[in-house]
Amino acid sequence: MGGNRRHMGSIPGKSDVGEPGADLPPAPPVDLCDDQLRMASTIKSFHYKLQQRMTTAGDRTCTQETEEERWFRLIAEESEQMKSYTAAMHGIATQYWDPQEDKLRDGGQTKSCVTCPPITTRVIPSNDAICVTKRVRDTETVVVGSACERQRAACLRHNDRIKYSLQCVTEYFLGICRVPPLIASGDTNRSTCSEVADVLSCSAVAGAVYYEKLPLLASSSVKRWRRTYYDTHGRQAYPYEIDAEAYRVLLASERTVRDGNTAAPVCPLSSSGLVTTGTAGGTAANYMTMSRTEACRRINLDCPHPRLLGQQRVPPLLVLDIGSCYGPFGGRIVTNGVLQVPLAVTALDLSPYEGSGVIKADWLAIRFHDSDGATGRCSCDDEGCISGTTFDDHGHADCGVSLVRWCDEESGKYEGTGSARRILSLARGAFDVVFFCLLLSFLPHPRLRYRACLHAYLALKDGGLLVIVSTRTQGARRSLWVDEWIKCIEGIGFKRVHKNVMKQIVGLSFSKQPASEVSGDDSVLCGAEAWVERMMNRADALGGLRTIGDESPW
């Protein structure tokens, strides 16, 4: 479960930035302020208590325990306080962080459709393959002319944790497509079938549909290819050529894992159809195919693959939301402007909000099992998904395989009936995305944060995305903490994709690199538990993910 230590207590209507003497919005009712401050106090005090109990030298049992054992004991002892913490987190998030105008009601369910980019950013010069973007400060991006606008702007700042996470997913898997105009079926100017074939086979046709921004999953490889192309042909590649190369890169990554052969022939985008996905690259390749097919449908063109137009649903992205509390990502949809992709969310929390449907489990105690062919447990019922089942690569229910199992802590047998504590087991390498929204800032020790990231590596497909949102509470003494975290997490086997510093939060995202590409280390392929324990002996486990709270004298 995640938490925020700094902006919890900020009062709506009280400006964080602005010119001296600027008009402030009317003060909210006293009871409203008191209610928010009460919830903020509950959250902060619980953070303080966990941090103090985790690090104090006065606890007689501390010297007898590892940090992980101490964590399990503290969470068990603080179970009642956790319920109060959960209620406060739910209240402050839903009442003060989530603006209702960003939500659409559909059949009684909350659904949010996020396209990219939802927030204004500026590009910072970088030598990395993927540019770093930083959100422009509120004084530069939001022109506030009234008290209501200022209050709404403050609310949007607090909602960044959700919008930012969805933006990262959109940019990484979908990119941004040019949206073609809809053409009526009786339009005499509709394109011919031969023109359609040219477009889909990446021939140069006026008005061809192509990506304005490629999925970041393929961008680094495409960037290198563009340089080589220019050296070879003496000109820049055309957009449709770049699109085709991006698709080839994504599909090649899938075939590398499936066949172990990087030289396997790659079908062009126009005739590929959908592939069986075992990596994030294969997932993104499918979305490219479906995006182009949907673009054809929009401009009323004859598609060479009409079966794709009849898809009952777009295959969902398989998401783990860790520290979910009340399941804010359930029912969400991301879009590149053409294709709408639902999120199939498996949400976990130490103490879920009552009635939220979030699974009660400790992420640090998670186990992993191999499950060939499994593709996800879904909880987004409004998209036709059935809780507790899995989905094949075309989004159809497959009740024979589950990504979520329960096992007995002592015997290790699934569905154990003994008195021992039951442990959740997840299918290894089966998820496209893992969200850590305010999770790492909640955990009170560097080793716990490091273990959480190790488990994320095991849960993700090759090329999968880890999104981290943390609070800006480090202070001047820890001014370089973001770079330290990036270095530490990349040492596990990730590669940084996003780095965004916002007013109240810091956002990072990382792609999982195949184990064979991480310094030639393939020991993770042998056994999950043995690999985790070996990684926990590294120096980074103790000092790589530190916060200012870890250094406080209690």
Least confident range from 373-382, 410-419, 490-499: namely 373-382
Q: Does 141 map to a domain?
A: yes
Q: Does 46 map to a domain?
A: no
Number of domains in the chain: 1
Question: Within 10 Å of residue 4's Cβ, how many Cβ atoms?
Answer: 29
- Comparison of pLDDT for 119 and 450, the residue scoring more: 450
pLDDT of the residue at 255? 58
- Domain span at residue 224 reads 110-554
pLDDT of the residue at 359? 94
pLDDT of the residue at 474? 62
Task: Decide if pLDDT at 276 tops 80.
Answer: no
pLDDT level of residue 417 (50, 70, 90 thresholds): very low
Closest CA to 217 of 133, 129, 295: 129
Give percent above pLDDT 70 in the chain.
57
Average pLDDT, the chain: 71
Instruction: Compute the C-alpha angle 50/51/55, nearest 5°.
Output: 115
Q: Does 135 map to a domain?
A: yes
- Residues comprising the chain, all counted: 554
pLDDT of the residue at 519? 56
34 is in an annotated binding site: no
Q: What is the pLDDT of residues 241-253, one digit of tens each?
A: 888 888 888 888 7
pLDDT of the residue at 117? 45
Give percent above pLDDT 90 in the chain.
31
- Comparison of pLDDT for 507 and 133, the residue scoring more: 507
Q: With a threshold of 0.85, does the pTM exceed it?
A: no
Q: Does 100 map to a domain?
A: no
Task: Decide if pLDDT at 113 tops 90.
Answer: no
Q: CA-CA distance, 397 to 395, in Å (whole number)?
A: 7
Q: CA-CA distance, 433 to 194, in Å (whole number)?
A: 39
Closest CA to 310 of 297, 295, 299: 297
The token pair at 65 is 């325990």
pLDDT of the residue at 115? 54
Q: Does 90 map to a domain?
A: no
Q: Does 10 map to a domain?
A: no
pLDDT level of residue 495 (50, 70, 90 thresholds): very high
Highest mean pLDDT among 53-67, 107-121, 494-508: 494-508
pLDDT of the residue at 32? 56
Q: CA-CA distance, 27 to 64, in Å (whole number)?
A: 52
- Comparison of pLDDT for 199 and 331, the residue scoring more: 331
260 is in an annotated binding site: no
Q: Does 9 map to a domain?
A: no
Question: Within 10 Å of residue 367's Cβ, how many Cβ atoms?
Answer: 18
Q: Does 5 map to a domain?
A: no
For the segment 512-535, the average pLDDT, to the nearest whole number, is: 77
pLDDT level of residue 394 (50, 70, 90 thresholds): very low
